[in-house]
């Protein structure tokens, strides 16, 4: 070492971690929180003792299960009811609960509980709701999310316990009730029963309880809070206007449920519903419409359903639930905005609006962009899965719909399957795991998180415009 030179000081690991943390943008913070949870879940499933009744899951299957739980999907390569011990099921349930509420929500709650002000980065990461309803502040919203979640899950578990205690006993009904209540509200499809909910096809109380939980979790915390505020304001003699966001969520959700109920009941009346009394066929048709769109609970074997039913289910899974909710899909607001765009163009209007309000052009562009990106990702994934799965077989006839169904279910975190999940190859399982993760955080958010910062000067110049002919 030359005289007068000083050795390079190594950065302290904590200092380096803080610098990296502060350098993350909002999208990277959100995407990274779920990635960390998936990694921790994978390590826990692989290394923790006492989780299995037999052999441990391998690394790939542990990753698949952790991704499915954190991304509140419900797809599983093993039978959750028999492969896991009570401790193993509890660990899966913990991942579902954390994934449903989101790591950012828990982080925000802890900061608020400690009486500390939210940092600008936390505010930015959770401020999307204030762009729509500025009367809601983040700390109040977070407390409402947590309290409402646990209250609804507890109430749902109590109702399920009342329904199942006569069948499984006073003690035996506790765990299934809690497990299914949390999974239903988080819109995940894990079950402690090997046949999912096929055994409850003739039981109104558990099915209607689970449907209520799925709906409350799937319409979004923002919409639930607005409905509460409207009721509170009405009691005080005032008026509270529900935002366009919540109106679209409620209207599109109602249309999808009603339309799906009618079609599912008609399509499966003489198929998977054969042998059931009329009232049970109607009830199970409604359950398929509510649960099939995002929750993943099954009262029928979709592999035995009609092709029309499975294709309709694929469309509903693609749409999913509401933003800021536990549901997946491209979201009902996206479909609502695209529908309003089509209606406006049909009527010759240049602006898009409804209910005496005009939507910003940026919102319409985001909706169209999300639809295109999601459709493109799914198309590529279906193509890849047909290569990894059907391409390995001598005959793939009749298998395409099953794998298209699987991809749609994974990317939109619906959790339904036509029975191919456990037979996926290693490549197929990795692909489905990635789809569940990207679908949970959102394809546009994922793209924003991994995108390189643009070095092109902003506002310096703009190229000359030129039009093209479309349509």
Q: Where are the domains of the chain?
A: 23-447
DSSP 348: T
Quick one: pLDDT band at residue 114, thresholds 50, 70, 90? very low
What is the reported pTM? 0.84
- What b/e readout covers 25-64, taking b as 16+ CB neighbours within 10 angstroms? ebbbbbbbbbbebbeebbebbbeeeebbeeeebeebbbbb
Quick one: pLDDT band at residue 214, thresholds 50, 70, 90? very high
Per-residue pLDDT at 125 exceeds 50: no
Supply the pLDDT for residue 173.
Answer: 92
DSSP string, 377-434: HHHHHHHHHHHHTGGGSS--TTTHHHHHHHHHHHHTT----SS-GGG--HHHHHHHHH
Supply the pLDDT for residue 206.
Answer: 94
Find, among 420, 395, 419, 417, the residue nearest to 408 by Cα. 417
Per-residue pLDDT at 146 exceeds 90: no
What is d(CA 39, CA 35) in angstroms, rounded to the nearest whole number? 6
Where would I find the H helices in 236-292? 244-268, 278-291
Task: Answer yes or no: are the C-beta atoms of 437 and 38 closer than 8 Å.
Answer: yes
Per-residue pLDDT at 111 exceeds 50: no
- State the average pLDDT over residues 254-259: 94
* Cα-based distances in Å from 98 to 21, 36, 105, 277: 21, 12, 9, 39
Task: Answer yes or no: are the C-beta atoms of 433 and 67 closer than 8 Å.
Answer: yes
Quick one: pLDDT band at residue 386, thresholds 50, 70, 90? confident
**What six digits make up the tokens of 372?**
């295109």
Quick one: pLDDT band at residue 262, thresholds 50, 70, 90? very high
Where is pLDDT greater, at 253 or 399?
Answer: 253
At residue 274, the 3 state secondary structure works out as coil
Per-residue pLDDT at 310 exceeds 80: yes
Where is pLDDT greater, at 327 or 284?
Answer: 284
What is d(CA 395, CA 16) in angstroms, rounded to the nearest whole number? 54
What is d(CA 76, CA 279) in angstroms, rounded to the nearest whole number? 31
Specify the range with the lowest mean pLDDT, choosing from 254-258, 260-264, 294-298, 353-357.
Answer: 353-357
Task: Answer yes or no: are the C-beta atoms of 42 and 58 closer than 8 Å.
Answer: no
Specify the range with the lowest mean pLDDT, choosing from 181-185, 351-355, 427-431, 455-459.
Answer: 455-459
Quick one: pLDDT band at residue 184, thresholds 50, 70, 90? very high
Find, among 36, 46, 59, 38, the residue nearest to 88 by Cα. 46
Phi, psi angles (nearest 5°) of residue 77: -85, -5
Where is pLDDT greater, at 30 or 316?
Answer: 316
Supply the pLDDT for residue 136.
Answer: 53
- Per-residue pLDDT tens over the stretch 152-175: 999 999 999 999 999 999 999 999
What is d(CA 469, CA 471) in angstroms, rounded to the nearest whole number? 7
- Per-residue pLDDT tens over the stretch 429-453: 999 999 999 888 877 676 666 655 5
What is d(CA 380, CA 93) in angstroms, rounded to the nearest whole number? 31
């Amino acid at each position: 070492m030359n005289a007068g030179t000083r050795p390079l000081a190594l950065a302290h690991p904590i200092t380096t971690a803080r610098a990296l943390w502060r350098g993350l943008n909002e999208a990277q913070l959100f995407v990274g929180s779920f990635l960390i949870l998936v990694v921790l879940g994978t390590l826990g499933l692989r290394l923790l003792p006492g989780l299995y009744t037999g052999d441990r899951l391998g690394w790939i299957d542990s990753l698949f299960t952790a991704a499915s739980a954190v991304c509140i999907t419900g797809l599983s390569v093993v039978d959750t009811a028999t492969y896991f011990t009570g401790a193993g099921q509890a660990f899966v349930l913990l991942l579902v609960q954390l994934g449903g509420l989101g790591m950012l929500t828990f982080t925000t709650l802890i900061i608020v509980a400690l009486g500390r002000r939210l940092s600008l980065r936390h505010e930015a990461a959770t401020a999307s709701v204030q762009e729509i309803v500025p009367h809601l502040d983040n700390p109040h919203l977070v407390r409402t999310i947590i309290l409402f979640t646990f209250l609804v899950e507890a109430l749902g578990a109590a109702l399920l316990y009342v329904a199942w205690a006569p069948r499984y006993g006073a003690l035996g009904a506790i765990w299934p009730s809690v497990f299914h209540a949390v999974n239903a509200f988080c819109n995940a499809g894990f079950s402690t029963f090997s046949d999912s909910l096929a055994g409850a096809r003739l039981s109104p109380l558990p099915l209607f309880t689970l449907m209520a939980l799925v709906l409350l979790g799937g319409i979004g915390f923002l919409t639930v809070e607005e409905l509460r505020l409207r009721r509170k304001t009405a009691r005080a003699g005032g008026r509270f206007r529900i935002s366009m966001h919540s109106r679209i969520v409620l209207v599109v959700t109602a249309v999808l449920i009603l339309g799906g109920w009618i079609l599912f009941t008609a399509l499966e009346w003489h198929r998977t519903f054969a042998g059931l009394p009329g009232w049970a066929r109607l009830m199970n048709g409604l359950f398929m419409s509510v649960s099939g769109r995002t929750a993943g609970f099954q009262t029928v074997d979709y592999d035995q359903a009609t092709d029309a039913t499975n294709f309709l289910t694929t469309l509903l899974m693609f749409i999913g639930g509401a933003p800021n909710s536990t549901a997946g899909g491209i979201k009902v607001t996206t479909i609502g905005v695209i529908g309003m765009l089509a209606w406006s163009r049909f009527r010759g209007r240049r602006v898009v609006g409804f209910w005496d309000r005009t939507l910003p052009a940026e919102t319409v562009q985001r909706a169209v962009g999300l639809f295109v990106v999601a459709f493109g990702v799914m198309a590529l994934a279906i193509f890849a899965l047909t290569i990894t799965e059907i391409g390995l077989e001598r005959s793939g006839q009749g298998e395409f719909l099953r794998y298209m169904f699987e991809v749609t279910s994974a990317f939109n975190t619906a959790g339904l399957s036509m029975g191919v999940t456990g037979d996926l190859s290693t490549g197929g399982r990795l692909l489905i795991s990635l789809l569940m993760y990207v679908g949970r955080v959102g394809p546009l958010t994922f793209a924003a998180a991994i995108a390189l910062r643009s070095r092109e000067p902003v506002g310096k110049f703009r190229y000359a415009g030129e039009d093209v002919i479309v349509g």
